[in-house]
């Protein structure tokens, strides 16, 4: 088992070996994936919204606990998107299962949500797109924040022009609580750079999409291996009623969405059949049709060169971080 290379406020907060958080991925952050991240030394979060019932969610929690040998893992809670089950029901089920690490994403977490988490002796990291949102979350009492830049796959919120590294640098000295940065990160040298500027960890998503433990069709993973840095595109930029910017694989579905946008179509109904979650889940992730669905992905896909276990990806990232650290050492004059 690789030794801890870096100790930060976030590695201590989550009691993990590596300063790597795997943020919640809709449909894909399930028990096998999250357990693989945890067993590799990072922290992962089961996406509660991916479970249509509490029984299904509880099944994911139990499976993850078995796969990790009861090592701590996390749960992602969406604070702004529709969920099949009320948010507090997901939270109560997770707490009852012994989960004490939560990632919230969306609107600033409400006082009652933070209070319920804190009263249970649990902790929460809130994901935000901009420093001002991070400062708000800090005032609300979260334990840490993740600042996600414009490069991220999926939804960067209102952030369409703030790069991850710039946002991370702006946060240094402004936040009192620990913070991670994410967006476009897929190489260990970027992890070192994030730590050097003041961040306590990085958030990765795209880099893990071809992990063996990802519950997706082999054809989907093969597409991730083949993808390059320019194979993504952004839809709905500036269109908050439709969910705001969404960085996805450049496929037939995304191109049709962009064509309808260009034609001036703005109603949700104009895009519903293209953006429905079942298209991603069943056609793409389940059936291997990579032209179907809005498939969240960022430019960090360019770092994927094979399908491999999550542990192997983590080991490679940390070896790259160590190499970058050694290079810096050789550049420093005595």
pLDDT digits (tens, 9 = 90+) for 124-134: 999 999 999 99
Distance CA 125, CA 109 (A): 10
Is 30's pLDDT higher than 60? yes
> Around Cβ 172, how many Cβ atoms within 10 Å?
12
Residues 22 and 43: beta-carbon distance below 8 Å: yes
- Which residues of the chain does CATH 3.20.20.70 include? 9-213
Burial grade of 22 (CB within 10 A; 0-12, 13-18, 19 or more): buried
pLDDT attached to residue 240:
63
The fold of the 9-213 domain, in CATH, is TIM Barrel (3.20.20)
Distance of CA 319 to the CA centre of its chain: 22
C-alpha–C-alpha distance, residues 250 and 294, integer Å: 9
Residue 138 pLDDT: 97
Report d(CA 233, CA 291) in Å as an integer: 13
Contact 24, 294 (CB under 8 A): no
Tens digits of residue pLDDT in 86-102: 999 999 999 999 999 99
Higher pLDDT, 156 or 65: 65
Q: Dihedrals φ, ψ of 127, to 5°?
A: -90, 130
CB under 8 Å to 202, separation ≥6 — which residues? 19, 20, 21, 180, 181, 182, 185, 190, 191, 194
Helix, strand, or coil here: 322? helix
DSSP assignment letter at 249: E
Question: Quick one: pLDDT at residue 155?
Answer: 87
pLDDT band with cut points at 50, 70 and 90 for residue 70: confident
Element (H, E) at 232: strand 232-235
Instruction: Compute the CA torsion angle 232, 238, 240, 246 (nearest 10 deg).
Output: 10
Residue pair 126/105 in contact (Cβ under 8 Å)? The answer is: yes
Q: Phi and psi at residue 153, in whole multiples of 5°?
A: -70, 150
Banded pLDDT at 5 (limits 50, 70, 90)? confident
Which of 250, 236, 53, 256 has its CA nearest to residue 158? 236
Please tell me whether the overall predicted TM-score, pTM, comes out greater than 0.75 for this model.
Answer: yes
Structural tokens at position 59:
């099944």
Q: 135 with 110: CB under 8 angstroms? A: no
Distance CA 226, CA 224 (A): 5
Q: DSSP for 259-297?
A: HHHHTT--SGGGTHHHH-HHIIIIIIIIT--TTSS--B-
Distance CA 331, CA 334 (A): 9
Band of pLDDT at residue 222, cut at 50, 70 and 90: very high
Give the pLDDT of residue 55: 98
């Amino acid at each position: 088992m690789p030794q801890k290379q870096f100790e930060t406020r976030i590695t201590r907060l989550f009691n993990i070996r590596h300063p790597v958080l795997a943020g919640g991925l809709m449909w894909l952050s399930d028990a096998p994936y999250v357990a693989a991240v945890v067993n590799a030394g990072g922290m992962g979060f089961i996406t509660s919204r991916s479970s249509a019932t509490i029984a299904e969610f509880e099944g994911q929690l139990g499976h993850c606990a078995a796969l990790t040998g009861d090592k701590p893992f996390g749960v992602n809670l969406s604070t702004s998107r529709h969920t099949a089950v009320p948010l507090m029901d997901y939270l109560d089920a997770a707490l009852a299962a012994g989960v004490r690490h939560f990632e919230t994403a969306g609107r600033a977490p409400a006082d009652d949500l933070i209070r319920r988490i804190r009263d249970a002796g649990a902790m929460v990291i809130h994901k935000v797109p901009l420093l001002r949102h991070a400062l708000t979350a800090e005032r609300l009492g979260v334990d840490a924040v993740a600042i996600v830049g414009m490069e991220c796959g999926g939804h960067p919120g209102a952030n369409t022009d703030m790069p991850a590294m710039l946002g991370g640098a702006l946060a240094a000295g402004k936040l009192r609580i620990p913070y991670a940065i994410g967006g476009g990160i897929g190489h260990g040298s970027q992890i070192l750079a994030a730590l050097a500027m003041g961040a306590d960890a990085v958030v990765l998503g795209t880099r893990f999409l071809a992990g063996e433990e990802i519950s997706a069709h082999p054809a989907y993973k093969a597409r991730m291996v083949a993808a390059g840095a320019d194979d993504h595109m952004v839809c709905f930029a500036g269109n908050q009623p439709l969910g705001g910017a969404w960085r996805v694989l450049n496929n037939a579905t995304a191109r049709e969405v962009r064509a309808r946008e260009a034609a001036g179509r703005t109603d949700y109904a104009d895009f519903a059949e293209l953006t429905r979650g079942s298209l991603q889940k069943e056609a793409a992730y389940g059936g291997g049709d990579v032209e179907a669905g809005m498939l969240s992905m960022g430019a960090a896909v360019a770092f994927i060169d094979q399908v491999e276990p999550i542990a192997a990806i983590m080991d490679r990232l940390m070896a790259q971080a160590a190499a970058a650290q050694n290079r810096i050492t050789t550049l420093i004059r005595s």
